[in-house]
Structure 1
Amino acid sequence: MTITSGKKKERIDRLSELAARDDERGVSLWQEAFRRLRRNPAAIIGAVILVLFVLVAVVGPFFVPYGPTDAIGIREGVVKSGQGLIPGSSGDHWFGYDHQGRDVFSRMIVGARQTLLVGVVSTLIGLAVGALIGGVAGAAAGLGGRWGRAIDTALMRVIDMMLALPSLLLAVSIAALLGASLTTVMIAVGVVSVPVFARLLRGSMISQANSDYVLAATSLGVKKSKIALTHVVPNSLAPVIVQATLTLATAIIEAAALSFLGLGNPDTAVPEWGVMLADAQPYLGIRPALAVYPAVAIIITALGFTLLGEAMREALDPKLRK
């Protein structure tokens, strides 16, 4: 009996020492989230996909074997316009030629840069505008009194009207009004993501506004505007950053959809995965691989962003931590 009690006491003392060490070291929310991400297989797979995608998009175009607009197949005589004969892959042309005799592998690599550019810029547009609207609405609703609630109501009704329209329909409408161009695609996809960021930041700020540290700061006489800018907003950004990662996946798919519909870059010679999908449609019966390559690239890239975003959301949300 005495031996058993001694072992229990030693175990309790050991656990107490470990807890004391953890308290002394201390970790921030982001450090703890990073620890959880390193142990999450989905996060590792998503991160690997994204690193490879970014490397291909940034560095790849400098090392492509052929120019993305060079009609090599026509010059070599292996592709003839109007004859419906498109050779497949070979040792020199890994993905073969397209209908204009251009090297598909080189166009895929260069097209990755366009896809990354559109996805990142459109997400930043949606994040900036949505965070501005959501931040003003959240500060007004949580700290602004009667007039603040009126401002919040007005802003949220505008967001509700944007949410009432299907996202792709809204993006197509904006792109059609502005005219076909790469900039148009970025703006259209960015506007579509504005309501998501606005709603998310507003809800997070309202939740933070009811916290004890806000009550303490208010009782000490700190101005509400200072509380909102220096405390509430920084503590509300974690879910918004996670949503930005998830929105990147949606932005890539929607940008490809707009380009597929002919609302992207009017110069079809410039490689972009959505444009390559559209160009491949008439040749599905001859060379379906022309559509498979860009489609698989879009799916894998979107999957990488989704896996990493979901893992980040799980790591940062206390309710979902394992």
Structure 2
Amino acid sequence: MTIAPGRKKAEKLDRLAELSAVRDDEQGVSLWREAWRRLRRNPSAIVGTVILVIFVLVAVVGPFLVPHDPVDPSGIREGVIRAGLIPGPSAEHWFGYDHQGRDEFSRLIVGARQTLLVGIVSTLIGLTIGVLIGGVAGASAGLGGRWGRLVDSTLMRIVDMLLSLPGLLLAVSIAALLGPSLVTVMIAVGVVSVPIFARLLRGSMIAQANRDYVLAASSLGVRKSKIAISHVIPNSLAPVIVQATLTLATAIIEVAALSFLGLGNTDSAQPEWGLMLADAQDQLSVRPALAIYPAVAIIITALGFTLLGEAMREALDPKLRR
């Protein structure tokens, strides 16, 4: 039986379409979608996310659900706080009292909000200024001419001077110069992270500037400033976002350190983990648990940010993908 030419041609086209079709599991995916797929399978990312979700919920919702007023010295008023005696956990006060007769559990919960707020704000300060400096330097170095290289060199020398100083020493110097306050801590910790973000974004932009799509856009006559803003910077932000997650962990520790040194919030009635840790130093011989509670909270929170940040770095970095 002879097959009609039209039907034969249709069968060939159907066969060609079948061969050229890409199955759903073979289709290409974007960088962020692939990173999300890897994060969902990474145990470290899952553990870090669970820790951070709990921390955020405690910081946001916890202050409305605390069983006692965190600034009310009820222990002194009731006469249960005496020299050399600070009552421990009980059915009514789960973590006991602090040295001024305030409920330790309520103060720990309320202190999470202030710790989270200071950590996020300080990281945003460093991220914003660092991205601005790194973006200008990277665009000048990768896409600029003689003047671009001059701008890049000037900005990077300033960044190198900041990097040459130990982070905590620089933060202490800034906080001491501006005077102890919560805003001072945010500025000091934020300035410390500026050179990290600036260097990272600049290096990523220089690497992107040598890609084929930049050469193609330049060949088509697209302005260099448009290439940098619309293409190079967006494609260079992945490592910066990962670093921001890791910096949050460092920021929480540095904020606690500055508060511990007396450079943070001077109002000891307002709960904050670093300040609670500092206040507990005089009570170590009476009740060391007052130092253990905020220290463990700081460690677990920093661990959550670190686990998630490392998992994101592994998911977004092709060299570290498994």
TM-score, normalization by structure 1: 0.93
Normalising by structure 2, we get a TM-score of: 0.93
Pairwise mapping of residues 257-296 of structure 1 onto structure 2 (< 5 A)?
257-296=257-296
Matching of residue 102 in structure 1 with residue 102 in structure 2: yes
Specify whether residues 281 and 25 from structure 1 end up closer, same or farther in structure 2 by C-alpha distance, changes over 3 A only.
same
Instruction: Go from structure 1 to structure 2 and tell me whether the alpha carbon gap of 1:313 and 1:19 turns closer, same or farther (over 3 Å shift).
Output: farther
Shift of 1:18: 12
Matches of 1:87 and 1:24 in 2, distance apart?
A: 63
Distance 2:271 2:52 in 1: 20
Q: Which residue of 1 aligns with 2:63?
A: 61
Q: Deviations over 1:279-311 (max 9, x none)?
A: 000111110000000000000000000000000
Q: Within 5 Å, which residues of 2 pair with 1:85-164?
A: 85-164=85-164
Offset from partner CA, 1:231-268 (integer Å, 9 cap, x none): 00000000000000000000000000000000001111
Q: Is structure 2 residue 251 aligned with structure 1 residue 248? A: no
Number of the residue aligned with 2:8: none
* Partner residue in 2 for 1:11: none
| 3-state DSSP of counterpart to 1:68 | coil
- In structure 2, the gaps of 5 or more residues are 1-17
Distance in structure 2 (CA, Å) of the matches to 1:208 and 1:146: 20
- Please say if 1:202 is aligned against 2:202: yes
How far the C-alpha of 1:146 sits from its partner, in A, is: 1.1
The residue number in structure 2 matching 1:70 is 72
Q: Distance in 1 between matches of 2:208 and 2:286?
A: 58
Larger Rg: 2
Deviations 1:57-114 (A, max 9, x none): 000000101111000111111113xx12101111111100000000000000000000
Alignment-derived partner of residue 36 in structure 2: 34
Rounded Cα–Cα distance in structure 2 between residues aligned with 1:61 and 1:143: 50
Cα deviation, residue 26, structure 1 = 3.7
Other-structure match for 2:4: none
Aligned-residue CA RMSD in angstroms? 1.4
Residue type of the alignment partner of 2:223: K
Cα offset for 1:145? 1.1
Runs of 4+ in 1 over 6 A off after TM superposition: 16-19
Q: How many residues align?
A: 305
- Greater CA drift, 279-288 or 18-27: 18-27
2: CA distance, partners of 1:174 / 1:19: 61
